[in-house]
Amino acid sequence: MGDCHRIVSEIEEDENLIAAAKHLVRALGSNKNLTGNMKKILADLGLQLSTMASINDDDKGEGISEIEEQLNVVQDKIMSWEADQSMIWDSPNKACEYLNAVDEARKLIERLDSLCFGKDKEENELVRRAHDVLQMAMARLEEEFRHMLVQNRQPFEPEHKSFRSSEEDVVDEVSIVSFGDDSFEDSVQRDSVSRTSEEVIIDLVHPDVIPDLRCIVNMMFMSSYDHECSQAYVIARKDALDECLFILEMDKLSIEDVLRMEWGSLNSKIKRWVWAMKIFVRIYLASEKWLSEQIFGEFGPVDLACFVEASKASMLQLLNFGEAVSIGPHRPEKLFGILEMYEMLVDLLPDVDALYTNEVGSSVRIEYHDVLKRLGDSVRATFLDFENVIASYASTSAFAGGGIHHITRYVMNYIRNLTDYSETLALLLKDHDKEDPSSLTPRLNPAVEKENTGGSSSPMAFHFRTIASVLETKLDEKSKLYKDVSLQHFFLMNNVHYMAQKVMNSELRIIFGDKWIRKHNWKFQQHAMDYERATWCSILALLKDEGNANSNGVSKTQLKERFRNFYLAFEEVYKTQTTWLIPNVQLREDLRISTSLKVIQAYRTFESRHMNHISDKHIKYSADDLQDYLLDLFEGSPKSLHYPNRR
């Protein structure tokens, strides 16, 4: 447009100069005082000015005539290709000829514009016809451009990692776990795909057609059809990106769809999203941006604008799922999935910021950061609410067998598996407690505060130990559901031992500290001793000679009664406590040995002291028999005594 104005200005200046010169000649010619020579010079000047004006008009006419002839030729060429239904770029020679014809049409329009006429009706018709020819050619180029982009797509298959094999390797127990399900133990594993592979560039369009695509882009941009060209590219690549999401099995789900989804289905969707997100960003989007740079790189920021416009809808579809998960209810089983999503977004943050740069990509960057923050808030809220979930869990019946309660397994394995995310949790909780310092301290009563010294002092460690303290309180409540005092201690021994072992044999040891472990080792040992007292003290009292150093003060009848009562009591313990369970083999063996030492030693002493004062027929079991029977305890299955042959 600047050249056109310059040419117009120059032409107007020339015409004005000639007109002014003619006016000067006429004015001087009317002067009666001019000499003969002066009059002759003015006459010659007037003749030259008339000749110049005539030549200028002739040149203009000849130029228009020449342009019209050339336009007719170009129009015929373009119309002949328009009648051909085959794609021009299927034949390289035709493509070159067609581009030359289009370029001629473009140059003819430039020449017409440079002449800057338009008052004559015929001239206006010629300009309109030239623009119609170019517009027809641009529409054909746009069609050819889109066709080449679609037909030369490279098939995309994420070969480097099969989601299905990954999905089968990870035991999906967290989705079905409840306080009444043992299966949570040792089941949660981190998906290794979240921390593997770097950016990979692949050819999304066959490399052989890139030069042809660039030629079309150059021609359309030079012809001021850059908007149409960019839109054709965006539409074609949007479809390709939709196809990529289809291959990755990323369904279009509304927030309402996600919120209505059952947890099992949602957990599967979360795992697939975590897997697909990294592939989509680091492989597909990186390659998509590279393709845009290859085709539009000569035209400055256009390549970035095309990439953003083509990919924005797909990215927002993926981020929409993340937002929907973040605003759902804060159920404990969701925490691991949300943590995976959050850590994945953190991991991809530099990639996304690099892909969506400048103001053009700001809308995607802002949305990405917003979803990341929402997921972080959801992680924090779900974790902090976990303590309330434990505290509010209620059951009205005692746990059969006095073994390790489901809530104990659940909570300890839950927090143990959270240590895989300790850095993320520590950061999120630190930021939370920094914003709200009162959020931590009121949760800990003085007794718990004192217990929480010795381990890590991070906010995460305080919350972990608080959860363990709430669990112990809940276990104390549940122990009261047993009428048998010995079973109360037996139950607490099992569960506190399980807690101590989980901490000691995992990363929780650093968080809880050795002081916590020592205290809880002492606790379960104390419960074991209390169990022995409650179970055996009254029974072993039958084997004591109260106030007598010998049997002289005990009648045979009394001896028989005491043996009989001891056997009855022992048989009752055997009948009852074979149904009790100690899952830990070492703890079960230790308690059997401790019990056996006390019971068998007392029995041997009593039996040897009175063996000469009572008939063998009243000795129902030998010490060895009793020792064998004690080995049947704590297996969790009822057994019956098989009476040995009486001696």
3-state secondary structure 443-473: HCCHHHHHHCCCCCCCHHHHHHHHHHHHHHH
Domain locations along the chain: 4-151, 199-392, 406-429+458-543+555-632
Q: Which of 85-94, 147-156, 158-167, 465-474 has the lowest mean pLDDT?
A: 158-167
Which tokens go with 369? 């950061």
Average pLDDT for residues 531-538, to the nearest whole number?
95
Rg of the chain taking only CA atoms, in angstroms: 46
pLDDT digits (tens, 9 = 90+) for 99-124: 888 888 888 888 887 775 555 666 67
Which amino acid is it at 351? D
Q: Do 88 and 97 meet the contact criterion of CB atoms below 8 Å apart?
A: no
pLDDT recorded at residue 150: 94
pLDDT recorded at residue 625: 92
Mean residue pLDDT across the chain: 82
pLDDT band with cut points at 50, 70 and 90 for residue 416? very high
pLDDT band with cut points at 50, 70 and 90 for residue 16? low
Which DSSP category does 90 fall into? G
pLDDT recorded at residue 110: 84
Average pLDDT for residues 226-235, to the nearest whole number?
95
pLDDT recorded at residue 203: 92
Tokens 């979803």 locate to 371
pLDDT band with cut points at 50, 70 and 90 for residue 456? low
Predicted confidence (pLDDT) at residue 196 exceeds the cutoff of 90: no
What is the C-alpha to C-alpha distance for residues 630 and 574, in angstroms, rounded to an integer? Answer: 8
pLDDT recorded at residue 499: 97
pLDDT recorded at residue 10: 45
Average pLDDT for residues 528-549, to the nearest whole number?
84
Region of residue 120 (left: phi > 0; alpha: psi -120 to 50; beta: else):
beta
Highest mean pLDDT among 46-55, 116-125, 364-373, 545-554: 364-373
**Cβ within 8 Å of residue 498, ≥6 positions away:** 404, 408, 409, 412, 583, 584
Q: What are phi and psi of 472, to 5 degrees?
A: -60, -40
Predicted confidence (pLDDT) at residue 288 exceeds the cutoff of 90: yes
CA angle 430, 433, 436 (to 5 degrees): 150
Predicted confidence (pLDDT) at residue 368 exceeds the cutoff of 90: yes
Q: Do 407 and 437 meet the contact criterion of CB atoms below 8 Å apart?
A: no
pLDDT recorded at residue 316: 95
pLDDT recorded at residue 24: 60
Q: Which of 446-450, 583-587, 638-642 has the lowest mean pLDDT?
A: 446-450
Which tokens go with 109? 């329009």
What is the C-alpha to C-alpha distance for residues 262 and 268, in angstroms, rounded to an integer? Answer: 10
Q: How many CB atoms lie within 10 A of CB 572?
A: 11
What residues form DSSP beta bridges with 635? Answer: 581
**Helical segments of 505-552, H only:** 508-512, 514-540
**Domain 199-392 homologous superfamily, CATH:** Exocyst complex component Exo70 (1.20.1280.170)
What is the C-alpha to C-alpha distance for residues 388 and 530, in angstroms, rounded to an integer? Answer: 31
**Helical segments of 84-158, H only:** 92-115, 121-151
- Cα-based distances in Å from 428 to 205, 317, 378, 411, 455: 42, 26, 10, 21, 20
pLDDT digits (tens, 9 = 90+) for 606-624: 888 887 777 777 788 889 9
pLDDT band with cut points at 50, 70 and 90 for residue 185? low
Predicted confidence (pLDDT) at residue 439 exceeds the cutoff of 90: no
pLDDT recorded at residue 69: 82
pLDDT digits (tens, 9 = 90+) for 197-220: 466 889 999 999 999 999 999 999
Predicted confidence (pLDDT) at residue 282 exceeds the cutoff of 90: yes
CATH architecture classification, 406-429+458-543+555-632: Up-down Bundle (1.20)
Tokens 């289905």 locate to 265
pLDDT band with cut points at 50, 70 and 90 for residue 6? very low
pLDDT recorded at residue 146: 95
CA angle 323, 326, 328 (to 5 degrees): 110
Region of residue 197 (left: phi > 0; alpha: psi -120 to 50; beta: else):
left
pLDDT band with cut points at 50, 70 and 90 for residue 46? low
Q: Which residue has the higher pLDDT, 467 or 8?
A: 467
Q: Which of 33-37, 363-367, 527-531 has the lowest mean pLDDT?
A: 33-37
pLDDT recorded at residue 77: 84
Question: Are domains 199-392 and 406-429+458-543+555-632 of this chain identical in fold?
Answer: yes
